[in-house]
Amino acid sequence: MGYELSRSQRLELDLYRKMGIRAFRDFVFAIEGWKHRKDQGKNSNYHLKRMSGSDVFLHRAYLSYNALIHMSGIILACLILAARRLLSLRWGLADWGMCAAVISNIYCIMLQRYNALRIEQYELALAARKQKRIEKNAVLLKDRTPSGYDPQQLQSDTEWLRGMEEALRGRQDFRIGGEEDAARLDRLAAWTECAGVPYRNTKIIRNASISEKENVKKGSLLYTGAEKRTALLQERCGRAQDSVLRSFAIITEDEKCELAFRRLFSSSSKEVITEVIETLIRAGAIHEQK
């Protein structure tokens, strides 16, 4: 996978810049910023709050929505110009106004496209940095594998993680339950703690307080129990910011597995979980190549 825009996309960005899109953007956002303050933040479709999956997805939808609105403005202005010509009306101020409307709407559409390309460029840069972290930490894990970690056991554990990776991609459910799965998670967590990878969970959940264990029983995480997870998603159904969460199902079926899961994955963020899994699988693959 390439981690940069295609040549045609880079040329497109350069073209927009040469046509003064950045000056136009500053002008538009100055006006929009005043409007945003005046309506107390109700006008949100120009504002990307965070670079998270669901927020970016929603913002891209807004960019397409804005472009369609401006396209309809171009069509309307062209129809008015055509009607005036058909009626043999003299060229006047209204015609100049319609021409200005067409040009401004074209620039607005260009701005939506420019912003979409800039977001994609930023996401590709993040993906490149993430891949470098994965490679670096995978080598770190390979070099600092606990002496008691049997190679066949390690290979089995990393292959088991592939099923979890498929669940994160929304292709299947993945259930974690029983002593064997809890032991797998504990072994993998001990491996990351031994290697000291940057995103390891410094708070060992195995020694969690009773109150934290009670939170686990109540289903404080998405991964606690199939019925609780289903109820949570039904409760949140239709909320755009949770659309990403409905695309995968990792389900821990008992408290011991839940605690072991939380020991390995220090965050319930899909991005963090995916990166840890990819790093461990990559480290296991390096072991196989030895």
Q: How many helices and strands in the chain, by DSSP H and E? A: 10, 2
pLDDT, block means (10 residues), the chain with 290 residues: 84 94 88 68 64 69 87 92 87 90 93 90 87 87 82 88 80 80 89 66 34 40 46 48 48 78 74 84 74
Handedness of CA 104, 109, 115, 121 (dihedral sign): negative
Q: Are 60 and 116 in contact (CB under 8 A)?
A: yes
At residue 85, the pLDDT reads: 87
Q: What is the pLDDT of residue 231?
A: 54
Distances from the Cα of 114 to the Cαs of 3, 22, 74, 76, in angstroms? 18, 9, 19, 24
- The per-residue pLDDT for 234 is 52
Strand, helix or coil at 209? coil
3-class secondary-structure state, position 278: helix
pLDDT value, residue 217: 42
Burial of 112 from C-beta contacts in 10 A (0-12 / 13-18 / 19+): buried
pLDDT for position 113: 93
Please give the pLDDT value at position 36. 62
Q: How many CA atoms are closer than 13 Å to the CA of 135, on its beta-carbon side? A: 6
Q: What is the pLDDT of residue 15?
A: 95
- 88 token code pair: 């043999």
Give pLDDT, residue 218.
42
Question: Is the entire prediction scored with pTM above 0.85?
Answer: no
